[in-house]
Amino acid sequence: MPKISVVGATGLVGRRMIEKVIHSPIFKSWQLIAVASERSAGKEIRIEDRILKVVTPTEGIQEKPDIALFSAGAEASGILAPRFAQHGFVIDNSSYWRLFPEIPLVVPEINAHTLTPSTRIIANPNCSTIQMVLALSGLHRKLGIRRIVVSTYQSVTGSGQKGIAQLEAEEKGQSVENPAYPHPIYRNLIPHGGYFLENGYTSEEMKLVHETRKILGDNDIAVTATVVRVAVKGGHSEAVNVEFKNDFTLEEVITILRNTPGVEVLDDPRQNLYPMPLYAEGKDEVFVGRIRRDESQARTLNLWIVSDNLLKGAATNAVQIAEHLVNSGFIS
């Protein structure tokens, strides 16, 4: 029986990965192994009608899984991913491997062709990057992107259980020990994601720059980003301004977006129809709306892009990569 493991199974993304594996017809007959740190060893995870007993990383490696889905953080991935990769494929959700030139950074609808049978470690992009590049990929192929200006409005689930705990405590007027953020998040927004770099940008902002270029295969795309954390429990939103090399009509843009796999257009201002995190939460699609020309600059478009950061932004994308490995015959 082939085996698939989830490393970091007790976390928010890890649990979503397990859910996606359980519901995938491809992995219906596979053995599913839940892996977490030593302090979680022996605990039971109940997801729907499945109960999984958590094993340690050492025990997980001994199982020799054909595919290991990682959501254990960058430090753990740097250490453990090569050990799991000795026995099968690793799909890592952390930032650790993303910019290694030899490591594919994959959104399956865009660049699954970069995967080969000899690929052993595969990087899952940042959640905000995934939803943006998926929405823009078809437009880039047709029109050629010159420059992207993006501001993200990221929910607290992007900071894991710690972010949710801070928001919920502050909503109740309770004090917060060891908060996720340097300021209150309730009734607030914080223009700070990740850690600050010498150039004044944050690590989360620079991920959008470097990962976008790598996934779309074009280092000439200019990207500038501002990341904002908002008091929303689930779903990331992005205001995206895109300058193209070629001109377009709005009808052409909408047609391209509707024909992009994984993208759903929600754009009817007369009916107040546009994407919102409340709508996107729990769904796998990337939703696009507020589609309009930038009237201040030629060949430039404004978009509003929303997706569930725990699903397409993390777990769903990782499981789609795993499904592609199986469908491509890379695993016998």
Active site residues: 127, 236
Most distant CA atoms of the chain, gap in Å: 60
Query: How far apart are alpha carbons 213 and 220 in whole angstroms?
Result: 8
Residue 173, Cα to own-chain centre: how many angstroms? 31
Question: Pairing between strand 89-92 and 67-70?
Answer: parallel
Using the 8-state DSSP alphabet, how is residue 49 labeled? T
Query: How far apart are alpha carbons 256 and 105 in whole angstroms?
Result: 23
Query: Amino acid identity, residue 115?
Result: L
Query: How far apart are alpha carbons 66 and 91 in whole angstroms?
Result: 11
The length of the chain is: 332
Q: Phi and psi at residue 79, in whole multiples of 5°? A: -90, -45
Number of H helices, E strands in the chain: 10, 14
Residue 81, Cα to own-chain centre: how many angstroms? 18
Using the 8-state DSSP alphabet, how is residue 298 labeled? T
